[in-house]
Structure 1
């Protein structure tokens, strides 16, 4: 946007800071607020952690302040700003799962603690400050004016393997990154009779015959694509995969990124070995799938934790190596399970091969994984809350 864009960003920042200053006139509440631009309901992580904090600390007012991102509903996003700024000013702990202007732009008071609970289990693609001034990233002018990822006290990572990338992406020291796990890890690891994940999988198999008819189910979940070349990409690649899998008794289950335009419905109807399951989170399709195919999406970590074979299909890997860049290059790191050619991918899956390199990588990336991440995080949030009264660990 050039010089004019920089002026606009600075104006936005001043307006946000001014409104926050007004909200500071309201008294600080005994409140913990979860902020999200990922959707109006808040993520699975947020809902699980908020419930755990409410159970652990019934005396604290726990709220979720969530909206759709600006590229989905710009009006709703703008209208959410006053509420977010009010809650930022009056809450003792603010938990985020992405960049929130109401948190990062103003100068927060000393009685506020901010926890960034990033919305992915890891980072295959570069993001944040790692991808500044690339076509897929933010400009330095925008990041500077809007104080991208500022004001965090702590950043939560799902495992030790994410610490280095998160430190670079958020612009903090490694000491600020706490690999405490994520609530959805409990969701993925719970195989008990009370598992909500397995109950949902059973329900989905009853609702969608394509998930339970004995054909090998290949769940395809590519990353979100934006900008030049994104339009029609998903449809084109699903067609290529459909052709590649025709010689094998496999069905491609399509689950795109929730913010993606998805596949052309007319094209899907013509592909007999492809099925789309709309309105279902990809994490809930993992249990009903025999394997997962992705490119640079963090669903690879979710599927790996759930014990599913994970394959990588990255036809545009050269482009992604340049912008936004890759923390993990699938074709280099996992040569036995990563392809840029759909026929080679289909042959490996159809012939029953196993991608062992990524399975080994998952163990190193997460370390010792066990149930209990949600309760551990709830305890950490409570510590941060107590710290605002002068008790506890002290501000980072």
Structure 2
């Protein structure tokens, strides 16, 4: 028997988001669902609600519908009151529910907007059952700041934006900022379009029902959406229920930083003699009945042989909603120091691409996953030699990687990465330039002390 080394478990603070649109765009959403319908796996009827799996066929309860209607009415009355009594400022509001701290993207964008003559307000707070009352008060503050802003940038579904009745969609030949309501730009928190999300995956076992999404007006009120590459635009248009002409490919500040870190990794001396760092990072499975192959691999324990003899150091990083009650650093922190990533369908693979960290996919359930929630970038098609459906074959490949005897197929990996990113030499403030261009270049207006 080989030695058994302690296992390091990492649990990132990753926000959970889901998308949809209002009833005015529901026809487009139904067309997307119908087009994919023959290849979908519907949600079980005993699973309901966002965050707990799908709810196909269950409808929305009257109490829930009434509660959402009351909340929407309250937010709209408050927003209109704030619009009437508070001055409009030359202000950009950046809203996030991803974490309690501003993301790197928001920190950099805030500075870039300020350099263009705007004031920038960043408001970040996660919603949970424990802080529901505090978040409600926070939402009223967000609404007041939104009423004073000319531009709002968000990185996921935000009910403060989507539940309001706003006029935000641009018309051909018109400057967005001439409207009474702010321009809203969704920059999304993940790169690429690996698995189906938002309206692409409603009414499947891995997402909420279309009726719930309609009720909550998920992903309503976007003037523009930003994705990481041209090949993602169609998926984002479907996920957010908006015309593809309003989806633009722009690199976020985090993308530029990862590229720089990737170049720094290449400049370092090649690995010499020490153990190779292997990071396992499963995606979140929202439905409790969904298969979890990487979790099963972890429980079986055969991977421990990779650490025997000191050839590799193994790190497991589960989503916090999969492994509650255990603290740890984030997946991205672990990725920075890893030599190889193993995942199933996590979009962290695109961060790995930018860093130059090779990846293997363990996907024994890929036929089912193609149906629920669905795949936009199919690894078995784009990089078949990086995909494994058998535990023994995966471990053999990992042992070959750790010993340096396996020739990694970089050409296939680059092809997968190309599904998310373009070859581009755009400046690192291109996103801020695009946003400012929608506001007459940021002409000066009254400024004031609306602070987060």
Same structural fold, with TM-score higher than 0.5 when normalized by the shorter chain: yes
Match of 2:192 in 1: 122
**Which deviates more from structure 2 when the two are superposed, residues 131-140 or residues 59-68?**
131-140
What corresponds to 1:161 in structure 2? 231
User: How do 1:239-258 and structure 2 match up within 5 A?
Assistant: 239-240=299-300, 242-244=301-303, 246-247=305-306, 249-257=311-319
Shift of 1:387: 6.6
State the aligned residue count.
Answer: 361
Q: TM-score, normalised by structure 1?
A: 0.81
Gaps of 5+ in 2: 1-58, 168-178, 401-405, 445-452
Cα deviation, 1:45-88, whole Å, max 9, x if unaligned, reads 2222222222x22x421011111133674344333211111122
The corresponding residue for 2:56 is: none
Unaligned stretches of 5+ residues in structure 1: 202-210, 266-277, 391-396
TM-aligned CA distance change 1:235 to 1:138, over 3 Å:
closer
- How far apart in 2 are the matches of 1:380 and 1:218? 39
Matched, 1:108 2:178: no
Distance 2:65 2:280 in 1: 39
SS of corresponding position for 1:27: coil
The within-5 A match list for 1:1-396 is 2-4=60-62, 5-25=64-84, 26-54=86-114, 56-57=115-116, 59-70=117-128, 73-108=131-166, 110-111=179-180, 112-191=182-261, 214-229=274-289, 236-240=296-300, 242-244=301-303, 246-247=305-306, 249-257=311-319, 259-262=320-323, 279-351=328-400, 352-356=406-410, 357-363=412-418, 365-370=420-425, 372-373=427-428, 375-386=429-440
> Deviation string for 1:111-139 (max 9, x for gaps)?
41010000001121111111122232222
The structure whose RCO (Cα within 8 Å, separation 6+) is larger is 2
Structure 1 or 2, whichever has the larger Rg, is: 2
Structure 1: how far apart are the matches of 2:203 and 2:256?
Answer: 36
Determine the C-alpha separation between the residues in 1 that align with 2:262 and 2:60: 55
- CA distance in structure 2 between the partners assigned to 1:3 and 1:212 by the alignment: 61
The alpha carbon displacement at 1:354 in A equals 1.4
Give the conservation status (yes or no) of the 8 Å contact 2:350–2:420.
no
Q: Kindly report the root-mean-square deviation, in angstroms, between the aligned alpha carbons of the 2 structures.
A: 3.2
**1:220-255 Cα deviation digits (max 9, x unpaired):** 222122231479987544234x41351562222122
What is the TM-score with the length of structure 2 in the denominator?
0.72
